[in-house]
Structure 1
């Protein structure tokens, strides 16, 4: 299922990332990977917190507040990690994240597509990194305020 989602993200990312002059070519894969990370972490954290219904709503409801938070986190992350200017990062996030979620909605309804509930279950039960990151955020370890605990937070702890 994740391979299918990764392929979907690659397809949607072509115009917003790869063909975008604001994203240096050497960062294309990193920016695309960050989109996948933000989506999986947000949905995984909701599922791990026992809010699977809300995670499913994010995939089924355009403009859901958690989807808007994904956009914000994604924009912040690509600014910090890849040096993309704020206006470009905001524009990329505003088109890429909703497009990916829309494609996920469309794929879920097709024969041979994936099951939203199965995806949420995998994220909540199988995504240990997202679960641990969610716990770290709750413990105040998210030093850069991007909604996850990663190497960036670790380096900020020692500054």
Structure 2
């Protein structure tokens, strides 16, 4: 996933990094590499600190590109700090670069993951990558926590469990339909 994330950073890095006069040209590649690494490690940190629900919320609606989203804000602050520390960029420049990259990259990442016609990012691959393969239980916790809000409590017993999953799979045309319902498709 880090390689694919790096491609997204490069895609959006022209405006935020390459064409930014405050970032010396010899630092462009390093700054973009740091952005990719910071996003990936930041998402891993959120999961490791029990933030699976924050990641789940990132997939809801179109808020992945919003600077007010807690995940976007946390990753932007982390990248800004890293750029200042590692490359000696001013706090204004670091904030400008991070603010110009993080919302666009996350919005694109989540958009691609939610698009059934775009196989470059799969939701399950993202969750497994950022959770070190431990994402399935965290995702199930998020589904249980938010499942009722998204109509996943198929038998109206007040909880989302395997019986609901099986009923949803039958009604929605397979596991893709179930995940599509959960992630707003």
Aligned to 1:18: 18
Question: Displacement of 1:126 after TM fit?
Answer: 5.4
What are the residue-to-residue correspondences of 1:105-120 with 2, within 5 Å?
105-110=110-115, 111=117, 112-120=119-127
TM-score (norm 1): 0.70
What are the residue-to-residue correspondences of 1:65-144 with 2, within 5 Å?
65-110=70-115, 111=117, 112-125=119-132
1:56–1:35: structure 2 CA closer, same or farther, 3 Å change rule? farther
Gap regions ≥5 residues in structure 2: 135-185
Question: Displacement of 1:19 after TM fit?
Answer: 1.3
2:44 maps to 1:37: no
Gap regions ≥5 residues in structure 1: 128-159
C-alpha contact 1:40 1:123 (8 A) present in aligned 2: yes
Give CA deviations for 1:105-129 in whole Å, capped at 9, x if unaligned: 22113322312232022111159xx
TM-score (norm 2): 0.61
Aligned to 2:4: 4
C-alpha contact 2:76 2:98 (8 A) present in aligned 1: yes
What is the count of residue pairs matched by the alignment?
A: 127
C-alpha contact 2:42 2:78 (8 A) present in aligned 1: no
Q: Secondary structure at the match of 1:96?
A: helix
| In 2, Cα distance between equivalents of 1:113 and 1:71 | 24
Cα root mean square deviation, aligned: 2.1
Higher relative contact order (CA 8 A, sep 6+): 1
Does 57-66 or 112-121 show the bigger shift? 57-66
